[in-house]
A and B are shown apart, each in its own frame.
Chain A
Amino acid sequence: MSILTVENLSKSYGRIQALKNVNFSVPEGTVFGILGPNGSGKTTTLGTITDILKPTSGSYKLFDEPASAANRRRIGTLLETPNFYHYLSGVKNLEIVAEIKQHGKEDIEKVLETVDLTRRKDSKFSTYSLGMKQRLAIASCLLGSPSVLIFDEPTNGLDPVGIAEIRELMKKLYREGKTIIMASHLLDEVEKVCTDVAILKKGELVISGKVNEILSSEDMVEVAATDHKKLLEVLNTLNEKTRIIDENSVVKIFFPVGKANLSAVNNYCFNNGVTLNHLVLKKQSLEARFFELTNN
């Protein structure tokens, strides 16, 4: 089953187009990251599927069904900021959420314990620190133990210990078989937590798929020769490479991790009549890969 299917989703704010024909689907049981720099349309996407924003065109489905309030009650959602009644305590706020979601109050204590907020549960929300507000929002998502969770920048405002705890929590939820949809601008976070990813850039979907396929680190070999044209021809027939990029003075050859063999490359070129004057092995970082995906 597909938990979420987004079809040709577009959203404009006046002349600014925040989403342009975005398509992707979230399979059940994945931790699905929506990754992109600030302003790339992550929150707009999540706002649309939670009925906070009206799409300009396109549609979406939850649990393979047209969206409805009943569907939303089956999902725990933290969108953008923790939204609670400032004058009510943490517990009273969760009681309201539990009522709206039509659950009992019985697991309020448990979710507060999970996010380590039990000690302050009776304090007013307005007295909470940023990190505590974020924890309460995550606790609220966990109410009723929904099978799907949507987290928008879940580690926002948390200290390093809090960040580690939340990431651990997400891994635990994933192991329990829950589907998590998470927006983040932190590549590192997506890489550590997610199984699947959709990368957005200026409202457009750049790519989506399995994290280990899209964001995998690669080995890169940089080569150059006097006869640049001939070099390109020869490299085109080289085995085991994933792709090559022509950068005029040098050519970058990419290999799966551990598959780059400098002497093999050198031999191959020499045997085909090209003498290399430059041959370097470089590892590509994830950041470089991310910039490559979002900058072209």
Chain B
Amino acid sequence: MLHLLKIEWLKVKNYKAFWVFTILYAFAILGINYTGFYINELTVENMPASQMLLGTPYAFPKVWQTVGFMSSWLLYFPGILFIMLLTNEFNFKTHRQNIIDGWTRKEFITVKFVFAILFSLAATIFNFLVALLFGLITTGSHFSFAGMENIGYIFIQTVAYITFAMFLAILFRKSGAAIAVFFLYGLIFEWLITVLINFQFHLTPVGYFLPLQATDVMLPIPFGNKVIYKDAPDVWIMVLASLVYVGAYYFFALKKFTKEDL
């Protein structure tokens, strides 16, 4: 596997778009959290009473969840990046050449998923550092490991978003189609379907088990004490559901890629 990863690294190391996306993604994580932090500080400064309503989102131990929630809006970045990494192979027909030159079809798919997991790990570590930073600069906040499980949720959510995007790329083979479906589904249709299932048909919590929603439920909005995901199942169930999804993306991607003509 290390050798396969080395080859995968050779592919992205000199790919400018990879670095542009990764650096933009990192700055965006910092930026969106700084925005949240700044607005919160400003609001509390002007209206001290608002703290009752908002809570202390950027103080320990809440900060782990807050950063996870804020950063989750940016998961479309790595999603698009991985769609591009896959559709590039289809466009350049290098997915064929890799097999011709002596990879198995399974190796081609597996190393992509492993690379996605490693990338998610790096993104999670970065989120951890960002959370640590904002937690420490928030006035009256003291470091605490409480709520650290949220870092684990960030990791699972990142893996789930990226592998979902990769699955779409393998399904559609064209970056345009995959990106369009990824955005439309993630930002509009999944919410719509969740609302329909849960409230129109009164089937709560079934609607929470949609592919991306399942991970969103793990990191609910941290501002205020209002319950957003009413009647959501225990978090461990959502974690399990997300892992089943990731496994299914891998399984079906592998099935499609190993059975069909390339």
Q: Could you list which residues of chain A lie within 8 angstroms of chain B, going by C-beta atoms?
A: 47, 50-54, 69-70, 72-73, 77, 79, 81, 83-89, 92, 95-97, 99-102, 140
Contact = CB atoms under 8 A, between A and B. Distances in A.
A52 B260 CA distance: 9
> Which range holds the interface residue count of chain B?
20 to 34
Contact of A84 (B92, B103, B104): B92
Contact of A50 (B17, B99, B104): B99
B92 A83 contact: yes
Interface stretch (B8-16, B29-37, B114-122, B203-211): B8-16
Nearest to A44: B261
B105 A51 contact: yes
Given A84-B97, A85-B88, A69 B103 contact: yes
A123 B100 CA distance: 24
A88 B96 CA distance: 17
A95 B13 CA distance: 13
11 contacts: A51-B100, A69-B103, A70-B102, A72-B101, A73-B102, A83-B92, A83-B96, A87-B17, A97-B101, A100-B98, A102-B102
B11 A85 contact: yes
B226 interface: no
A85 B92 contact: yes
Pick the 5 closest A-B CB pairs, nearest first.
A73-B102, A83-B97, A83-B93, A100-B101, A69-B104
B102 A100 contact: yes
A277 to B, nearest CB: 59
Q: Which of B11, B88, B93, B101 has the most CB of A within 10 A?
A: B101
A50 B96 CA distance: 9
Given A53-B262, A83-B92, A83-B97, A96 B102 contact: no
B7 interface: yes
A254 B182 CA distance: 68
Interface string B81-92: 000000010001
